Amino acid sequence: MADEDPQDPFSLFDDWFSDAKEAEPNDPNAMALATATPDGRPSVRMVLLKAADSGGFVFYTNYESRKGRELLANCQAGLLFHWKSLRRQVRAVGDIETVTEEEADAYFRSRARGSQIGAWASKQSEVLESRYELEKRVAQVAAKHALGKVPRPPHWLGFRLIPDEIEFWKDGRFRLHDRLVYRRDGSGWRTEKLYP
């Protein structure tokens, strides 16, 4: 990170994400998503980033899943990108909102047909009695939608994390890492360097 860092954290994120797409062998868009219940019990899992711009970071899921329920009940979350090959990470925290129906429909149409069918077949986060039960549900949904387009399930939508803080971390020799934090300040951002 330079002495003159960009005023907009999404500009720096775009640069780092481009580097990650070149360097990471698998899923440069993978991010750890941390949620919590209304009483504060945390949970974390990996999800895939599907869009990032000045509005925030977008991902999609079944809102009846554990993470979906937690996001709807406690509209705050954190996420972390860890690009090991680059020895960099980006952390963001902020409020959560749902994307529009139109955004969710457009992204759902872009998915592979098998993934569309899986979104209907999976009762995400519920107890599964056997693998056969899941395969049977997949076959039933595939038969139901054998012709034509697969519509988006009503329980499947997108969430946008609107960050009020984004931290960029870069590995340094002797564990003297570079840390740069952007914090929302009105309609703009202020930056601070942090000790490692």
- Look at phi and psi of residue 153 and say left if phi exceeds 0, alpha if psi is from -120 to 50, else beta: beta
Instruction: Look up residue 36 and give its two tokens.
Output: 């919590």
pLDDT for residue 155 is more than 80: yes
CATH code for the domain of 182: 2.30.110.10
pLDDT for residue 2 is more than 90: no
Condensed to tens digits (0 to 9), the pLDDT of residues 104-131 reads 999 999 999 999 999 999 988 889 999 9
Instruction: Look up residue 13 and give its two tokens.
Output: 């994120």
pTM check: above 0.85: yes
Instruction: Tell me how many domains the chain contains.
Output: 1
What DSSP element (H or E) covers 4?
none
Q: What is the residue range of 88's domain?
A: 9-111+154-193
> Is 18 contained in some domain?
yes
Condensed to tens digits (0 to 9), the pLDDT of residues 157-170 reads 999 999 999 999 99
Which residue is it, tokens 């139109």? 102
> Is 75 contained in some domain?
yes
> Is 73 contained in some domain?
yes
d(CA 124, CA 118): 10
pLDDT for residue 10 is more than 70: yes
> Is 72 contained in some domain?
yes
- Mean per-residue pLDDT for 25-53? 96
> Is 125 contained in some domain?
no
> Is 1 contained in some domain?
no
Local confidence band at 4 (pLDDT 50, 70, 90 cut-offs): low
> Is 189 contained in some domain?
yes
> Is 142 contained in some domain?
no
pLDDT of residue 174: 84
